[in-house]
Amino acid sequence: MEKKVILSGIQATGNLTLGNYLGALNNWVKMQDEYDCYYMIADLHTLTVRNDPEELRKNTLNLIALYVAAGLDPDKNTIFIQSHIPAHTQLSWILNCYTYMGELNRMTQFKDKAAKHADNINSGLFTYPVLMASDILLYNADLVPVGEDQKQHLEITRDIAERFNSIYGDTFKIPEVYIGEVGARIMGLQNPTAKMSKSAKDPMDKILLTDSSEDIRKKLKRAVTDSENCVRFDKENKPGVSNLMGIYGIIKNKTMDKIEEEFKGKGYGEFKNAVAEAIIERLEPLQNRYNELIENPDKLKAIYEKGDKKAEEKANNILKNVYRKVGLIVD
Ligand code: TRP
């Protein structure tokens, strides 16, 4: 039987956090044998807000290195750069003509970003979901692993694909959102009621995958808890401690009950130390691989060139079919 196709991507903004790793990458690694996986760097999406060009280039390469360092095998997964595959922007134009302004107007991410970047509400920000739909539909993806905040973009992708199919006959596979493991949602260390975000202003709120052991220890020491001094899982009333338990649980593969037992009668100091050491131990091999890759740009280039080639072939086939269906001259 043919393997199901998975596609996902991460924008090239800043460094990835422990949240990106435990909530996304770590799950992707587990899927690499069972599925035919496409993972891209969404560098074109990154352009919807202003970036320093050198930073963007650096972030894109860093992200490729982190994908591989986290355990994504470039021989098993197609790892590629979105902007290297012209079909993404080509399909995006076509799909723009099958997407209503009213639909795009309802996107909560657009509303949020427009509020945040009031001086730069560009049309790329508005049509962002159409480019994302193109990313997904170009590979006949069955499943798209994304976070809660991207679910609405999956829904509009399905709507666009269904609309197109109903006009031109079966063309696009209708993708499903893939929800990762429960508990994989990592919250900020300073503000544990909001997701740990790589764009968080406060460096103490997030653990970067490239943080040194000292930084990790320091950040854990300062992590927000509560005054009960009892390691007990209660998301509602103890979001800080519960988040740290979640992190520890994923890394150590332990249930919340087991963790409560382990730290019975022990204070937060000891608990935080244990969480910090668990994170450091888990990140060490990843950081070693990452450093090796970053110092070896030729190796990095070979990885994405291989992925680009495979991605381009698949995407071009689907694009050609779409061109033909809408009436463009193809051959
Ligand atoms: N919009 C996604 C995000 O910011 C990134 C992304 C771009 C993506 N294209 C995609 C995710 C296609 C999944 C599939 O998180």
Dihedral angle over CA of 54, 56, 60, 63, nearest 10:
110
pLDDT digits (tens, 9 = 90+) for 258-311: 999 999 999 999 999 999 999 999 999 999 999 999 999 999 999 999 999 999
pLDDT digits (tens, 9 = 90+) for 248-269: 999 999 999 999 999 999 999 9
pLDDT digits (tens, 9 = 90+) for 58-105: 999 999 999 999 999 999 999 999 999 999 999 999 999 999 999 999
Please choose from 78, 132, 173 the residue to mutate so as to test ligand 1's pocket, defined by most ligand atoms within 8 A of CB: 132
What are the boundaries of each domain within the chain?
A: 5-179+297-326, 203-292
CA of 92 to the centre of ligand 1 (A): 14
CA of 146 to the centre of ligand 1 (A): 7
Q: Which of 113, 219, 272, 314 is catalytic?
A: 113
Q: Which of 4, 76, 173, 198 is catalytic?
A: 198
pLDDT of residue 198: 87
The distance of Cα 262 from the centroid of its chain, to the nearest Å, equals: 32
Neighbouring C-alpha atoms within 13 Å toward the C-beta of 93: 7
pLDDT digits (tens, 9 = 90+) for 308-324: 999 999 999 999 999 99
d(CA 95, CA 206): 37
In CATH, the architecture of 203-292 is Orthogonal Bundle (1.10)
144 lines ligand 1 (CB under 6 A): yes
Kindly report the number of other CB atoms within 10 A of residue 169's CB atom: 8
CATH topology of domain 5-179+297-326: Rossmann fold (3.40.50)
For residues 109-121, give the mean pLDDT: 94
138 lines ligand 1 (CB under 6 A): no
Q: CA-CA distances (angstroms) from residue 224 to 83, 183, 187, 189, 241?
A: 40, 19, 11, 6, 8
5-179+297-326 and 203-292 share one fold:
no
d(CA 186, CA 208): 13
146 lines ligand 1 (CB under 6 A): yes
Kindly report the number of other CB atoms within 10 A of residue 57's CB atom: 13
Kindly report the protein residue whose alpha carbon is nearest to atom 13 of ligand 1: 8
Instruction: Kindly state the percentage of the chain with pLDDT values over 90.
Output: 93
Show the tokens assigned to 318. Answer: 């689907």
CA of 250 to the centre of ligand 1 (A): 24
CA of 132 to the centre of ligand 1 (A): 6
Show the tokens assigned to 157. Answer: 């992708």
pTM for this predicted structure: 0.94
Residues 6+ apart with CB under 8 A from 160: 95, 98, 99, 130, 133, 137
88 lines ligand 1 (CB under 6 A): no
